[in-house]
Structure 1
């Protein structure tokens, strides 16, 4: 049986679909997808977060998956507490096995979150086709302290289609909004999945005012 791929992930429709797919994908995700596609987005998001300003206090990793973003933050020298939030029990189990997180929480980011008090919020690969749209942004803002730094990756192909630009403008509680476009995958993706090899994402950074 072949593991799931991007076409499966991008075709998700709702929370139950998401949980089924990632239950099947969790154990092979790092070796099959991340390594096979030279998945660079977690490292790009981590670097953007750390450039956005020094901070102390806990960081929430939204849509943490198997912990690739947290691993990138640690590799780049971030030593503070990181909490993981994801909808998939199976992905959280993989993340928890790496010893990167203070706490693991299963939750739907499109609903009010059962946590708060964060000085940083990061997310890589969650705001994309078939996953999460701008409706989650107010919930992330509510979980953050004033002055908190955000770094969120948003698949470039859904930025306009899902209305992220007006959603950010409507928030009214953020400052220092910036965005940069990055490649999601490296050269290995050309042979593995040419249909998605040149996909890009927008890394959006800002602060809660």
Structure 2
């Protein structure tokens, strides 16, 4: 892994500890050296689809990072929004923006310190991707949302196919309804480079 954090380093992550180390180094420059420099727009896509499908607060933003998706949600007047992320350093950057009601460090793969059915919605942008989180984490996402709550999250399109997300959604069929899968660009049309044309599949559904 390169000493300088970048998208290739993020895609090369293998373990939660790898994620903690990378994002600890990247936190203070993430918004400029990654999001702005690469025309990253996925957070706006997720927030827009959450609103389009009728999502409302209170919302837990999973893998909130520096607060990009949280800012997009509040721009749509979705409130209150709480944030969780594996990286306390990323959350400190988000905290300074004044977006979130509450922020807490958490590993979605190990379970979050949240009571069952706490939230009316969950969003996640850029967390379900190569080197990060697979389909098993959907169980924890479902647990923290109340019946009738809206979940909208992005899944890297290649990761969706390679890691068996379709089978996972099929296994959840009795517990969800209104599932939509929308392919969206991760980056703006002006972006260049190896990952410029990468797509995410934004899954949105209601918990029964």
Give the 5 Å matches for 1:60-75: 60-75=60-75
Conserved in 2, the CA contact under 8 Å of 1:58 and 1:81?
Answer: yes
Residue 131 of structure 2 corresponds to 130
What are the ranges of 5 or more consecutive residues in structure 1 without an aligned counterpart? none
CA distance in 2, matches of 1:96, 1:3: 24
CA distance in 2, matches of 1:83, 1:146: 19
> CA offsets per residue over residues 64-109 of structure 1, 9 Å max, x none?
000000111112232x110001000110101111000111111110
Q: Does 1:47 align with 2:48?
A: yes
SS of equivalent to 1:36? helix
Conserved in 2, the CA contact under 8 Å of 1:58 and 1:118?
Answer: yes
CA distance in 1, matches of 2:15, 2:21: 10
Once the two structures are TM-superposed, the CA of residue 169 in structure 1 deviates from its matched residue by 1.0
CA distance in 1, matches of 2:184, 2:123: 16
Residue 203 of structure 2 corresponds to 204
Once the two structures are TM-superposed, the CA of residue 2 in structure 1 deviates from its matched residue by 6.7
Once the two structures are TM-superposed, the CA of residue 160 in structure 1 deviates from its matched residue by 1.3
SS of equivalent to 1:195? coil
Conserved in 1, the CA contact under 8 Å of 2:62 and 2:85?
Answer: yes
> CA offsets per residue over residues 145-202 of structure 1, 9 Å max, x none?
0000011000001111100001011123111000110000013421xxx110000000
Residue 16 of structure 2 corresponds to 15
SS of equivalent to 2:74? helix
Once the two structures are TM-superposed, the CA of residue 54 in structure 1 deviates from its matched residue by 4.8
Distance 1:113 1:54, change over 3 A: closer
SS of equivalent to 1:189? coil
CA distance in 2, matches of 1:187, 1:50: 23
Q: Matched residue pairs, number?
A: 204
Cα RMSD over matched residues?
1.3
What are the ranges of 5 or more consecutive residues in structure 2 without an aligned counterpart? none
Distance 1:91 1:43, change over 3 A: same
Conserved in 2, the CA contact under 8 Å of 1:92 and 1:104?
Answer: yes
SS of equivalent to 2:20? helix
Under a length normalisation based on structure 1, what TM-score does the superposition of the two structures give? 0.94
Conserved in 2, the CA contact under 8 Å of 1:120 and 1:149?
Answer: yes
Under a length normalisation based on structure 2, what TM-score does the superposition of the two structures give? 0.95
Any runs of at least 4 consecutive aligned residues in structure 1 with deviations exceeding 6 A, and if so which? none
Distance 1:175 1:51, change over 3 A: same
CA distance in 1, matches of 2:111, 2:5: 29
